[in-house]
Chain A
Amino acid sequence: MPTYRLSTILWLVMLALTCIAAYFAEQPQLSLTLIGVVLFITVIKAAMIVDYFMCLRDAPLFWRGLLMAYVPLVSLIITATYAIDFS
């Protein structure tokens, strides 16, 4: 269980990362780099939620691994479909 202070810091970081991702939505041209950055931000936020809010940091590796791998895997699929679209 994280401390209140750590939870607060993580929460504020996630809010800031979300605003950065929303800023990218205003960019006129979508590129693979932009998609990579936005999805990387999503992966970071998801890892924070899994490890600290869900308290899986010290949980059995199987469950932590499943939850930690979820967003990166989905992000990879999304990126792949954009890569096919661009090609």
Chain B
Amino acid sequence: MSQQLLSSSTSDGNSIDIAAQDDEVTEAAPINTESNTIAYAPKGRLPGDLAMWFFILAELTAFALLFSIYAVVRAKNPEMFAEGQAGLDIRAGLANTLALLSSSFFVACAVASVEAGRKGRACIELIAAISMGAFYVVVKLTEYSHSISLGYDITTNAFYQFYYLLTAFHFLHVVLGMLILIYITLRVHKGAYSDGNIQGMESGACYWHMVDLLWLVLFPLVYVLH
């Protein structure tokens, strides 16, 4: 991206006017200075690969079934579930929700940075996103360890079966998402998206946002509504 493009956008009060003087600017990306947005994705285009969207759809369907079964079983055993949910640490659930939301935010910023040709900034944002994911992993493992040390494992009752099943299934998605983000970070660092084709990155980003979306449902379902 030329310095002229950058300066013209900043003089208009553009919100992408981050100090990026030291950042390696790789490729001219079209910037819409009138609407203050990066105008890479044309209207009507689905970000990322279509195959990834079918995969996301399949994942969402599987989780929707699990959420529904959980809700039905909970309605049949309200006391058991209320007791189990009361034993969970809401602070851990809250911390994980804030971490995943922040991670999604950093990933969205990283995609915008790559579109603007700022790969150095994108790498930092991706590392921040991965760090938030790692924070989630540590909190979740600590939570599991605490529950198991108190004698609550998958064989305790129906609530703990669903708790471990739902959260561990989601946990695996977080781990996979983190691996995808690490791969994307390495690709960004190598300048792999500097030719303007960022479909691969968009696909990985959308997968990560899906993981966040699923946790948004899990958090109230398991931690809040009891």
Contact = CB atoms under 8 A, between A and B. Distances in A.
Interface of A: 1-8, 10-11, 14-15, 18-19, 21-22, 24-26, 30, 35, 38-39, 41-42, 45-46, 49-50, 52-56, 58-60, 63, 66-67, 70-71, 73-75, 77-78, 81-82, 84-85
B209 interface: yes
B160 interface: no
A7 B36 CA distance: 13
> What 9 pairs across the A-B complex have the smallest Cβ distances?
A5-B15, A11-B105, A3-B15, A81-B71, A81-B75, A25-B224, A53-B108, A85-B75, A22-B94
B49 to A, nearest CB: 12
Contact of B209 (A1, A14, A53): A53
Contact of B112 (A1, A39, A41, A73): A1
B216 A1 contact: no
B221 A1 contact: no
A21 B209 CA distance: 20
A38 B112 contact: no
Interface string B75-95: 100100000000000100110
B15 to A, nearest CB: 3
Interface residues of B, number: 57
B18 interface: yes
Contacts of A74: 64, 67-68, 217
Given A49-B216, A63-B46, A1 B72 contact: no
A72 to B, nearest CB: 11
Main secondary structure of the interface of A (DSSP, over half): helix
B98 A35 contact: no
A21 B44 CA distance: 34
B142 interface: no
Interface in B39-53: 39-41, 43-47, 53
Given A1-B112, A26-B90, A35-B225, A77 B45 contact: no
A70 B64 contact: yes
B135 interface: no
Contacts of B98: 15, 18
B182 interface: no
Nearest to B47: A55
A52 B49 CA distance: 18
Interface string B205-217: 1100110110011
B209 A49 contact: yes
Contact of B224 (A6, A11, A22, A75): A22
A54 B44 CA distance: 14
Contacts of A21: 219-220, 224
A78 B112 contact: no
Contacts of B111: 1, 55
B15 A81 contact: no
A6 B45 contact: no
Contacts of B67: 74, 77-78
